[in-house]
Every structure is written in structure tokens, then in C-alpha cells.
Amino acid sequence: MDGKKSDGYKRIPIKIEIYNKIKEEHKIRNIEYSVSRWVSDLLLMNIEKYEYLRLYAPYISYKGVHENELFLRDEKLDRIVEVVLKDRTLFCRYCNKDDCIHIHYALVLPELGRLVKYSKNKI
């Protein structure tokens, strides 16, 4: 023990630009509780999303993102499946449709947010 009294929080460094973005969103959403508590909730919710996805589709895993595409590994198909964001709609290139297990998986993934910049000019 370091002799300090615990307040129930662990400190984790966050890059300034990310912290500023978090504070801005905290303000936009008019969150009534502290940024610390809100960030803890956000992190926990993301972990819970991963837990949910492991139960919902244990044979699918996230592999990466490139520009407007998400890459998912589907063990049942034994291949990588591409989900692309186009005109504000997700589309599965393997199933050739916008409503399938891969789309459902992608919609829950926190990494989906990485694609948002490719839909902004279409809103």
C-alpha cells in the first residue's frame, strides 16, 4: 500500500485531445454526474458489449478497420467478412445485404465509431 486513502478510483492517463472530446460530449449530453463517473460507465458499457458479442456470436471476432470498412473474422465461414459503411448504411459484402449477423455484430461493436467520419458529409 502507498498509504493513500482510496476513493474507489484508479487513475489512468488519457491523452489531452481525447479528454477534451470527452468533456465536450459530457457537456453536449448535459450529463448530471461527474466526467470521472461517466467515463467509468462508458468503459464498463464497452466491456459489457464485448461480453455480449462473445455470447451472441462466439464464432465472429473483430479484426480491424480501414477507412469505411470493418473486418470481421467468421469462424463458421472460415473467412474474413467486410462490412462497409456507405451512404449512412452498413452493408455486408459477403451476405450482399444490409441485415445479417455481421451487420448486427458491427452495430454493437464500439469500433463502429471509427467509421463515423465517413458518414458525416452525408448527414
**Do residues 35 and 21 make contact, with C-beta atoms less than 8 angstroms apart?**
no
Binding mask 54-93 for Zn ion (x = CB under 5 A): --------------------------------------x-
Identify the residue among 22, 35, 84, 95 touching Zn ion (CB under 5 A): 95
Identify the residue among 72, 85, 91, 102 touching Zn ion (CB under 5 A): 102
- Name the one range near Zn ion by CB under 5 A: 15-23, 38-46, 97-105, 106-114: 97-105
In the complex with Zn ion, the residue whose CB is nearer, 48 or 99, is 99
What's the closest the beta carbon of residue 93 comes to Zn ion, in angstroms? Answer: 8
Could you list the residues that contact Zn ion (CB under 5 A)?
A: 92, 94-95, 100, 102
